[in-house]
Amino acid sequence: MHNAYVQDLKHKEDELAIQYLPAVKAMAFRLKERLPSSIDYSNLSAIGTEELIKLARRYDEGLNDNFWGYAKKRVYGAMLDYLRSLDVVSRANRKLIKSIDYAVEEYRLTHDEEPSDAELAEILDEDVEKIHEARIASNIYTVMPLHDQLQVGDEGAALAQVEKDELVEVIKKILATYKEREQMIIQLYYFEEMTLKEISEILNITESRISQIHKSVLQKIKEKLGA
């Protein structure tokens, strides 16, 4: 009798997971749209599904009457943890990413567009494959929460100690110094989780310019925090 009850309970929990599986797949797809082509959608979806099943099997509706409200952040967090586990931003890459960002800004001032990997390799006297890998790593990190991104670079260790509440206040103050359209970019990217292409179409601004504004905000936050 006990075994039959346990089996029935497990069945109901799995039914709960199945019910929200399309939401997990949609979440993985949306995240994949914001990532380089080297990241596999099926891996993100599998990670999310595995976390969903775990959550469904230990879910207590007596404590929380909205399963997806309870599970959504945890599923998304599991996907981000997977991206972190790839360890795409090595110590060497961090310095190279910083050099690339600076070189891109300098190039854009005179050419009004971003340089290619080959052009960056020539400017920085670096192997083109290393440039390519570093740019992929940088693009992967742009989907991470701001606190993660602020830890990329030489000043990362100091910024890792910043409390979340302090960071939120600093971000609010810095965004207030930007024009409304630039504030909208940060809002759409981080809170609405739109792709650069979608934001570009809404605001009629190039993806390159959106990326530039995003990096400018990060740099100002670092400076404000005394990094």
Please report, for the chain, the start and end positions of each structural domain, with discontinuous segments joined by +. 2-85, 88-141, 144-227
Q: What pLDDT is recorded for position 159?
A: 54
Task: Count the Cβ atoms, other than its own, within 10 Å of residue 146.
Answer: 17
3-state secondary structure of 101: helix
pTM (2 d.p.): 0.64
Q: 48 falls in which pLDDT band (50, 70, 90)?
A: very high
- Read off the tokens for 45: 């979806």
Spatial distance between the Cα atoms of 129 and 143, rounded to a whole number of angstroms: 23
Q: What is the mean pLDDT of residues 184-193?
A: 81
- Cβ-based burial of 107 (10 A; exposed 0-12, middle 13-18, buried ≥19): middle
Q: What pLDDT is recorded for position 78?
A: 93
Spatial distance between the Cα atoms of 159 and 152, rounded to a whole number of angstroms: 9
Q: Tens digits of per-residue pLDDT, 144-168?
A: 776 666 655 544 555 555 666 677 7
CB 146 within 8 A of CB 171: yes
For 144-227, give the CATH class. Answer: mainly alpha
- Give the Å distances, CA to CA, from 158 to 22, 88, 90: 40, 20, 17
What percent of the chain has a predicted confidence (pLDDT) above 90? 17
Q: Which CATH architecture has domain 2-85?
A: Orthogonal Bundle (1.10)
* 151 CB-near residues (< 8 Å, 6+ apart): 157, 159, 160
Farthest-apart Cα atoms in the chain, separation: 77
